[in-house]
Structure 1
Amino acid sequence: VRAGSTWAGELRWTGVPDLPAALGGIRAAAGRTPPGTWLRVVGGWHPSQFAEGREPTRAELDAAAPEHPVYVQALYEVAVLNSVALHVTGIDATAADPPGGQIDRDPATGEPTGRIFGMGAFDRVLSAVPPATPEEERRSTAAMCTDLHALGLTGIVDAGGFGMSPQRYEPLFALWRDGGLSLRMRLFLSATDPGQEYAQLATWMRHTPPRFGDPMLQFLGIGEVVHFGCHDFEGLEDFAISDDAVSDLYDICRRAAERGWPVNIHAVLDESIDRILTCWEAIDKHVPLRQLRFTLSHADRISIRNLRRLKALGAGVVLDDHHVFKAAHAERAWGSGSMADVPPIADLLAADIPLAAGTDATRACSHDPWLALWWLITGRSADGLTRRAGRHRMTREQALECYTAGSAWLSFEETTRGRLVPGAWADFVVLSEDYFTVPEQRLPAIRSKLTVVGGEPVHDAR
């Protein structure tokens, strides 16, 4: 939902193989837009996908678009600005680092290099981009749906995310009210401000019944950001959930359970998962959770012990391919060989844990579902290395099952979506190649020739 409001005004580097091609896209965009127009690539790519193995420099962005402010953000790791963007945002030798961010500087001159780090720095730059009008945001959301249909998507589960206040959903609601929403969307609703999580999520639950909506748009649950003190981000730095945070999490999750809301919570580290499951087990004694389909997103480091606890609660896991870009970084943080069982797919399957699959898009990873399926199947990352052990790789059938029927379980729609059977909704796709026989290296290049939602064509490659 967040991506939809800015989709039409951004470039995307999914599948771009090298810096000349990436910079060529910037140059082409500069040629078709007036000088002074922002050119942005906000997440969804990583330097490891480029043949050069690095992000572009300030000088390269200057050469590609000397009259446009340019901002390219690699996941949540680093962003690079050209000289025009630095001038527009007031980032110069005298500028202080913003709270929660860092400006990289030349050690000799103190001048900014164009590279910035941290959410505070990213937000400072993005807040300088002129906001779109509500009508522009509505059209942009429709454009996103069109592009996702071209990849073969008929619907998505939106996990919520940082900064997703109620007003951020207005462009989507406007498109829905006008009858222009062609992509089935199921929404998790997140907290937006640290310290206000219970009040904010309780307000959502007070005014909205669970699974309220129609076949195109429904509120589904609470998450993925449930409590900032329980959010271990990528799990690459020291992190511990405090007793106070667990107490708040208990209150939020119990209220959700009492009102029939599913909860999805981000958790990478087993230590985080352990504390979350202790909280859920305490709630389960008063309000049974088995029918509510509570889920963990990522669960990269989950232990066998916690898999058993998850199974006892009837809870599931949402797998995604964020390590298609982050595997090398994670291995440096977790130790040599640690990525062999990240995530521990064989153990998840053996424990019969309900599994959904997705992309962690659009900033923390690419929005391409075929890249996610390739990652589940091959265990490879964008740098060309295969790190995940063979037993933790999925067959093509298993991966597709998770992505379709598994994700339908997540939204309580396993009888109507995710399978080609009589009585299910007529949502299907005709692919450019046979997913089951195409060579593995071509899986990420699969596209849709025809996408149908509810019996109506929404994409036709002709």
Structure 2
Amino acid sequence: MSEDEDVVPVVGIRGGVIVYVGESETEALDKFDDEPSIVDLQGHMAIPGLIDCHNHIVLLGNRPGYHTPLENAYSIADVQNTYRLRADAIPSGSFITTIGGFHPNQFNERRLPTLEELDQIAPNNPVFVSYSFGGPASTNSLGKAFFESLPEPPSIGIDGSISSGVNNGKVLLALRKQLTFEDRKRGVRDAMAYAASMGVTTHIDQGGFPATGTPSDGAAHEDLYSMHLPWLSVYDDDAGIIRLRINFLHMDDTPDVPTVQQRLLNTFKFFGDDMVRTGGIGEFITTDYAGGPIFTQAAQRIAKAGWRLEVHSLTNTDFQTQIQAFESISANTSIEELRWVVAHVPLITPDYIQRLKKLGGGVNLSGWQYLAGTGPQAGPPFKDILAAGIPAGMGADGMQIAPLNPWIHAYYATTGKNALGQQINPGQQISRQELLRLYTRTNQWFLGGVDEQRLGALEVGRLGDVVVLNKDYFTVPEEELKALRSILTVVGGRIVHHDGSLGA
């Protein structure tokens, strides 16, 4: 599909950049000085590489153990099969982990696997599977034995169950203490490979909460000053296969906002190359994230420094106080060109959409309610937001309380149904064409800087990011949307994922 949404048979990429989009293979070949590699897509649909404008993939890459996504499992048998394949591919005795990104609601049984069920498929590997930020969780016999040998062991049920909160935190802390820098780099490569297999080629990462090094830390906690180092090391190794844009999260709680101020003094915005680059500040800047004197002080400094800002909205009032603060700041310092964003916005109202639009701001949208959301109007109001004409894009918010898989979010946005099959967002469904646009062309707005107009479409002069899908996105039945995958992913003209469907 081209920029003007025509379907074309030939795309040519040279030196990482698209040089031809059209009907003629002969004309495409004329764009090359020597004989290029030719990939026959055999009738499969190709789309631009997807852009995820709001996720936490850096946390995913720093997970302990051999992290194994379960967001595409729909039964305990699926979980067992996923873990069986993982156990066959990793060293005996190594931990298999799943920390966030799924929910028992998506399983037919509506529960976690038991110790016995995990033992059946991973008798030689300890297993830890936990959902949301801090459990509940489950483990197998080897995992139970390891956790119960700790100096301060958690309480674990005979069935391998681990309660949320401190018990789950003790387990996470013990697993993190085992992590080496090389383990983290392996986790980064796994996270990149998984994203490429889903067709997501560009990610705006939103950071994590500052770690305390205690059992109070959950899945979203990390050392904010070192969490990017294994990622940067993988890019230094020339092993990076996805594009990463880094937002910096801050949780200042004093009016001098010391960490935000030092970030602005010591970090360059939009600094890096086509593969990895700094992006903005957010999705938190202070502990009073919804607004207040500390929030306003931090936002004022961010505006004066000319940085992109992103804030987090989940309630029916936080977007109001945030946008009001934006308005007060813009009275003295224009933010019109800075791409300030309010994220998630499940309950935003039409009047505040227009107020934010007037400031030059935008909203990013997510299907995070798919896993555990309930109706009758779970949001976000996709249809109303698109009708308002405000800059909008899709961000998965994976992988603590939401999947990274974009096709699950496509399912939610176009059907309004949650993991239980219940209609929870009636009247706000959008078309598949609109959803794909939110994940591609319109998402470039959130990148800003030198990235804008270089990604999100198959057009001459743009970076050569292409995804070939296993099925036709526009015609598959709605329940099969969640099963879409990339069979071939290309980033900058380089094949970074293929599943063998197109041959050698």
- TM-score normalised to structure 2 length: 0.78
CA–CA distance in structure 2, aligned partners of residues 88 and 193 of structure 1 = 37
8 Å Cα contact 1:17/1:50 also seen in 2: yes
Structure 1 counterpart of 2:101: 44
Structure 1 counterpart of 2:305: 259
Q: Letter of the aligned partner of 1:221 in structure 2?
A: G
Shift of 1:181: 1.5
Structure 2 counterpart of 1:338: 377
User: Which structure 2 residues correspond to residues 171-250 of structure 1 after superposition, within 5 A?
Assistant: 171-191=230-250, 198-230=257-289, 246-250=292-296
2:80 aligned with 1:23, yes or no? yes
Q: Name the structure, 1 or 2, with higher relative contact order (CA <8 Å, separation 6+).
A: 2
Structure 1 counterpart of 2:469: 431
- Partner residue of 1:124 out of 155, 170, 173: 170
Shift of 1:296: 1.2
Structure 1 counterpart of 2:442: 406
Shift of 1:64: 4.9
The alignment partner of 1:430 has SS state of strand
Over residues 284-315 of structure 1, what are the superposed CA-to-partner deviations in whole Å (9 max), with x where a residue is unaligned?
A: 11111111111111100112222122112111
CA–CA distance in structure 2, aligned partners of residues 318 and 56 of structure 1 = 34
Over residues 22-63 of structure 1, what are the superposed CA-to-partner deviations in whole Å (9 max), with x where a residue is unaligned?
A: 134445555665665322111111111111122223454455
- TM-score normalised to structure 1 length: 0.85
- Partner residue of 2:113 out of 56, 63, 68: 56
Q: 1:247 to 1:275 in 2, by over 3 A?
A: same
Structure 2 counterpart of 1:297: 343
2:108 aligned with 1:70, yes or no? no
Shift of 1:10: 1.3
* RMSD after superposition: 2.7
Q: Letter of the aligned partner of 1:136 in structure 2?
A: D
8 Å Cα contact 2:181/2:230 also seen in 1: yes
Q: 1:431 to 1:26 in 2, by over 3 A?
A: closer
Structure 1 counterpart of 2:198: 151
2:393 aligned with 1:356, yes or no? yes
Structure 2 counterpart of 1:420: 458
- Partner residue of 2:331 out of 274, 285, 299: 285
Q: Letter of the aligned partner of 2:298 in structure 1?
A: I
The alignment partner of 1:388 has SS state of coil
Q: Letter of the aligned partner of 2:77 in structure 1?
A: P
2:363 aligned with 1:327, yes or no? no
Q: 1:250 to 1:35 in 2, by over 3 A?
A: same
CA–CA distance in structure 1, aligned partners of residues 436 and 492 of structure 2 = 20
Q: Percent identity?
A: 29
CA–CA distance in structure 2, aligned partners of residues 28 and 456 of structure 1 = 27
Number of aligned positions between the proteins: 427
8 Å Cα contact 1:198/1:248 also seen in 2: yes
Q: Letter of the aligned partner of 2:98 in structure 1?
A: V
Q: Letter of the aligned partner of 2:288 in structure 1?
A: G
Structure 2 counterpart of 1:234: none
CA–CA distance in structure 1, aligned partners of residues 239 and 116 of structure 2 = 42
CA–CA distance in structure 1, aligned partners of residues 122 and 193 of structure 2 = 28
CA–CA distance in structure 1, aligned partners of residues 380 and 348 of structure 2 = 8
CA–CA distance in structure 1, aligned partners of residues 297 and 159 of structure 2 = 45
Structure 2 counterpart of 1:79: 137
8 Å Cα contact 1:265/1:296 also seen in 2: yes
2:42 aligned with 1:3, yes or no? no
Q: Letter of the aligned partner of 1:80 in structure 2?
A: S
The alignment partner of 2:364 has SS state of strand
| Structure 2 stretches lacking a partner, 5+ long | 1-57, 210-221
8 Å Cα contact 1:164/1:192 also seen in 2: no
| Structure 1 stretches lacking a partner, 5+ long | 98-102, 106-110, 231-240, 332-336
8 Å Cα contact 2:311/2:343 also seen in 1: yes
